[in-house]
Structure 1
Amino acid sequence: MTSVFIVYFSQSGCTEQLAQACAAGISQQPGAHATLYPIRGERILNGRFRDPALFRALANADAIIFGTPTFMGGPAAQFKAFADASSENWEQQHWRDKLAAGFTVGGSFNGEQGSTLQSLITLACQHGMLWVGMDMPFSYTDKSINRLGVQYGSSAHAPEGTVHAQDLATVRHLGSRVARLAAQQVIARQCAQATDS
């Protein structure tokens, strides 16, 4: 079983739509299981995110996908509270060598969603994770995905509260890709352990 967590914050429901589509993509891969974790305000006390059980679960996941809307050119404060709280696990590097990926959504075609994805990449690198970006060019061969031409991760445009179908297809593809690569990583680890013993 390949375990992929999707940790995300959604205010208007658009990031939730992306998270659900990402989970559907993960489920397309045999033996892969997606766990959705929506960040809720009640988990943030005095500006600090608290959920020790989540961090224990993430330490055992094979991959973590981060999701947040883009607010004022970066991740939502609620997601940032989670990211800041992850620093308590940073020294132990519990996420080292896990796969990471991310998605975001904005109300305009380019409201600095790339800056948000860069923030997610930086978070992953701080933890020693391996970032998975997109693997298709700007809709050259398949016009149904990656209409915005973003390679860092999945970016969506939802000006009226509904995510565009092509953006949902793109994040579904990303989820499937992460699950497939995570499964390959699990097999490689098992083979290495068998060789060592």
Structure 2
Amino acid sequence: MLVSIVYDSGYGHTKKQAEAAAKGVERVTGAQARLIAVGTDEISWDALAESDTLIFGSATYNGTVSARLKQFMEDATRTAWTPMAWRNKVAAGFTNSGAQNGDKLNSLITMALFAAQHGMLWVGLDLFPGRGPNELNRLGSWLGAMAQSDDVSPDISPITSDLETAAYLGQRVAEQVSRLTPAA
């Protein structure tokens, strides 16, 4: 099973979330994660069409996804949406911002709507909100993984619980794809 994680990270904090999601994917036997940084890596539309699932990630800027992820979404119209190349693939998302809230929910809604328009099946979190800074899903999201990063090096922020929430999402996505895929 191939899980492509398509993300944008302006300062490196969201990249850490993407890497954590990839680690979670690879906790599932037979699952492989591929990281694709929009704006940096060349987008192989054929490789995305061959993926079993896509996980989208972006920093939240001004209450929505980054301009580079939005450009990826627009570029996908002709290459993936028109032929419905991603129909019935599983999708999920994660986001990060500098504020505790930071309007991250709007970024996840943007990703989920994008996936829905492609006929994809969205997987959210099945974790009750954490009650402290060291618990998974401490920011209380159901639609996808959220993280908060201080204005410091990505070596320091986001905190471990936010990265483990992203890993949990990656693992959950791979497990759902395994459940939906008939045994060979």
1:178 aligns with 2:173: yes
- Encode CA deviations 1:85-130: one digit per residue, 9 max, x unaligned: 1101212111011000000000001111000000000100010000
Q: Does residue 147 of the first structure (1) align with residue 146 of the second (2)?
A: no
Q: Structure 2 matches for 1:40-189, cutoff 5 A? A: 40=39, 51=43, 54-88=44-78, 89-139=80-130, 144-161=135-152, 162-187=157-182
Normalising by structure 2, what TM-score? 0.92
Q: Tell me by how many angstroms 1:42 deviates.
A: 8.0
Deviation at 1:139, TM superposition (A): 2.3
* Code of the aligned partner of 1:75: V
Post-superposition, which runs of at least 4 consecutive aligned residues in structure 1 deviate over 3 A? none
Q: Distance in 2 between matches of 1:42 and 1:35?
A: 11
CA distance in 2, matches of 1:156, 1:13: 13
Judging by fraction of residues, say which structure has more helix.
Answer: 1
CA RMSD in angstroms comes to 1.5
CA distance in structure 1 between the partners assigned to 2:61 and 2:45 by the alignment: 25
* 1:15 counterpart residue number: 14
Name the SS of the counterpart of 2:72 in structure 1.
Answer: helix
How many pairs are equivalent?
177
Between Structure 1 and Structure 2, whose CA radius of gyration is higher? 1
In the alignment, structure 2 segments of 5+ residues that lack a partner are: none
* Structure 2 counterpart SS, 1:151: coil
Quote the offset at 1:63 in angstroms.
Answer: 0.5
Aligned to 1:34: 33
Equivalent residue letter for 2:74? D
Percentage of identical aligned residues: 37
Amino acid at match of 1:183: S
Describe the SS at the equivalent of 2:181.
Answer: helix
Distance 1:158 1:26 in 2: 23
How many Å apart are 1:160 and its aligned residue? 2.6
User: How far did 1:81 drift?
Assistant: 0.5
